[in-house]
Amino acid sequence: MRILVTRPQPDADNTARLLRESGHEVIIAPLLEIVATDIPESFDLTGIQAVLITSANGVRALAAATSERTIRVLAVGAASAEAARALGFVRVENAGGDVASLAELVRATLEPAAGRLLHVAGSVTAGDLSGILTKSGYQVEKTALYRAHTPETLPETIKTALKSHEIDAVALFSPRSAEVFQELVMQAGLRGKLQKVTAYCLSQAVADALKPSLLANVHVSYTPDQQGILDIITQHT
């Protein structure tokens, strides 16, 4: 199967490698470029009992912003937890799911009175982690340490592949990437080319960002991680 991978680098290369090892052809065309923002002058881990991470990009941004590696890190899933450990953080816990799972982990392991929580994120995030935890009595500070830059037009790589019917499927890892993908395809006047393309989505939130009528099929991973995407692709090929 010929699969389009649109996620940012360096994650796109890792996904592509695993798909190729499974016998698929892969086109890499990132639709999001992760750009670090200036570290806020107020950025300080003093009094923070734990940092909440909702993506591997957040971990990378945190590592660039501080040399502290003993702060407790609660990660949304396996990929972000693995990235945190690889970058030297020594107290890492994996919520194994989505924002709701991360909130559950916080409530199960942290006390509101023990100190503030810091959510390191991008300028645009899916879900309202701070709102969920604030209702449970936690004081949560959200700091945007990176932003996702999107192209103004569909990359020529994708245009050419769609026009030539060289894309059978697209792997989508975030609601934002799903939105950008379909918006740019429609802007390019290629919506009809999606009728034979299947979308494999990391989560239901990603699938909800799509217009199902545009695509041949939309499948959702059973687990919100890269392995889940690989498994659902294997199941349908």
CATH number at residue 55: 3.40.50.10090
Which secondary-structure segment (H or E) carries 185?
Answer: helix 175-187
For 116-143, what is each residue's pLDDT tens digit?
Answer: 999 998 866 656 788 889 999 999 998 8
Do 110 and 98 lie in one domain? The reply is yes
Same domain membership, residue 81 and residue 181:
no
Rounded to whole angstroms, how far apart are CA atoms 196 and 135? 44
The residue segments making up the domain with residue 186 are 2-32+151-235
Question: By the 8 A CB rule, do 94 and 81 touch?
Answer: yes
Are 104 and 131 members of one domain?
A: yes
Kindly report the pTM of this predicted structure: 0.80
**Does residue 43 sit in the same domain as residue 137?**
yes
Same-domain check for residues 137 and 190: no
Domain check: are 61 and 165 in the same one? no
Domain stops at, among 148, 168, 195: 148
Instruction: Say if CB 108 and CB 138 are below 8 A apart.
Output: no
Domain boundary among 106, 121, 148: 148
Q: Give me the percent of the chain exceeding a pLDDT of 70.
A: 98
| Number of structural domains in the chain | 2
Q: SS3 for 85?
A: helix
Confidence of residue 111 (pLDDT cuts 50, 70, 90): very high
Q: Are residues 99 and 28 in the same domain?
A: no
The answer to whether 11 and 34 have CB atoms below 8 angstroms apart is no
* Tokens 């609660």, located at residue: 74
Q: For residue 205, what pLDDT is reported?
A: 87
The closest of 70, 90, 36, 78 to 53, measured between CA atoms, is 78
Same domain for 55 and 121?
A: yes
Residue 36's pLDDT band (boundaries 50, 70, 90)? confident
Residues 128 and 226 in one domain: no
Residue 213 confidence (pLDDT) above 90? no
Of 9-23, 75-89, 125-139, the one with minimum mean pLDDT is: 125-139
- Mark which of 132, 148, 164 sits at the end of a domain: 148
Collect all residues with Cβ–Cβ distance below 8 Å to 215 and sequence separation of at least 6. 194, 195, 197, 198, 199
In this prediction, residue 128 carries a pLDDT of 78
Mean pLDDT of 228-236: 93
Looking at the predicted structure, is the pLDDT value of residue 78 above 90?
A: no
Cα 38 to Cα 145: distance, rounded to the nearest angstrom: 7
pLDDT at position 126, please? 58
Q: 151: which 2 tokens? A: 């192209």
Q: Which residue has the higher pLDDT, 178 or 126?
A: 178
Local confidence band at 100 (pLDDT 50, 70, 90 cut-offs):
confident
Same domain, 144 and 39: yes
Q: Is 140 helix (H, G, I), strand (E, B) or coil?
A: strand
Taking alpha carbons only, the member of 149, 156, 150 closest to residue 190 is 156
Q: Which of 180, 161, 227 is nearest to 200 (CA)?
A: 227
Residues 156, 94 share a domain: no
Band (154; pLDDT cuts 50, 70, 90): very high
